[in-house]
Amino acid sequence: MSGFVLYNAPQSTCSQRVRFVLNAKGLPFEEHKLDLFAGDQLKPDYLAINPNGVVPALVHDGEPVIDSAVIIEYLDELVPERAPFRPKSLLGIARMRSMMRFIDEVPTPAVRVPSYNLAFLPHFQSMSEAEFQALADSKPLRREFLLRMGRTGFPQADMDEAIGRLYRAVVRMDEWIGASGGPFLMGEAITLADVAIMPVIVRMDDINLASHWDERPSIARWLDAIRSHPAFQPTYYFGSLLTEKYPHLAEGKLRKAS
């Protein structure tokens, strides 16, 4: 079970999922940090590993595993005895996977919209129209997403829709925690469903969207429990939060706090 190489980016929410499971299971790995703005994920060497041109990708003993949801299940099945992330019953596993599908369909893509508008847009605004079009055309999975954003950002209607999807995810989380008794989504034990939604909630807190759970204290308790997990700090090393890389976001958060 040696020979793990992780290709990822510090602020990538999907990368954070994989780092968390690797750290929780105590699996040593070689980390390659890709510069997404420099196009590292689109270079031929990386596309040979992940033809989708997105992060993360895990190479285990020379064999690539791609897609963060697939990777974290792969790791949990590979070493189930170390920090297990799945319920013991088949029904419990089925419920966990249904949660993960919801998370990947609703909040995970939604959080990209405010993230890009608030943090990444200035980078795209510095490009010419031709440069931006060429960049979008080079993205196997993100072309339409970037073209909709354009060099002026997502329109307010798209922002409103994304915020609405994030709020629905918070409501669903609150329901799951209430039904299970918490502190995690399925009860006392953390599962892959918690890992799947962790980067979304951490990102929302980082970009001043934590007010979405002001009336839902179970979410704040869940976030405290996640942050108390031994794998959290090594996963969220400095530079993993947008406010740690983009000073204007950190300043906005401080103004709001005051």
In order along its 258 residues, the chain shows pLDDT tens digits of: 459 999 999 999 999 999 999 999 999 999 999 999 889 999 999 999 999 999 999 999 999 999 999 999 999 999 999 999 999 999 999 999 999 999 999 999 999 999 999 888 888 888 899 988 998 898 888 899 999 899 989 999 999 999 999 999 999 999 999 999 999 999 999 999 999 999 999 999 999 999 999 999 999 999 999 999 999 999 999 999 999 998 778 776 656 555
Tell which of 78, 101, 117 closes a domain.
78
Count of the separate structural domains present in the chain: 2
110 and 204 inside one domain: yes
Rounded to whole angstroms, how far apart are CA atoms 191 and 226? 11
CATH code for the domain of 153: 1.20.1050.10
Tell which of 78, 107, 135 closes a domain.
78
Specify the pLDDT at position 252. 61
SS3 content of the chain, % helix, strand, coil (to 5): 60, 5, 35
Half-sphere CA count of 194, side-chain side, radius 13 A: 29
CATH code for the domain of 66: 3.40.30.10
Specify the pLDDT at position 1. 47
Nearest 5°: CA angle at 250, between 31 and 9? 15
Phi first, then psi, for residue 111 (nearest 5°) are: -70, -15
Tell which of 16, 44, 78 closes a domain.
78
| Residue ranges making up the domain that contains 113 | 90-257
For residue 85, being part of any structural domain is answered with: no
Residue carrying structure tokens 């285990």: 60
Burial class (CB in 10 A: 0-12, 13-18, 19+), 41: buried
Rounded to whole angstroms, how far apart are CA atoms 28 and 3? 8
For residue 83, being part of any structural domain is answered with: no
Specify the pLDDT at position 230. 98
Specify the pLDDT at position 142. 87
Phi first, then psi, for residue 57 (nearest 5°) are: -140, 140
Specify the pLDDT at position 68. 98
- 226 CB neighbour count, 10 Å cutoff: 20
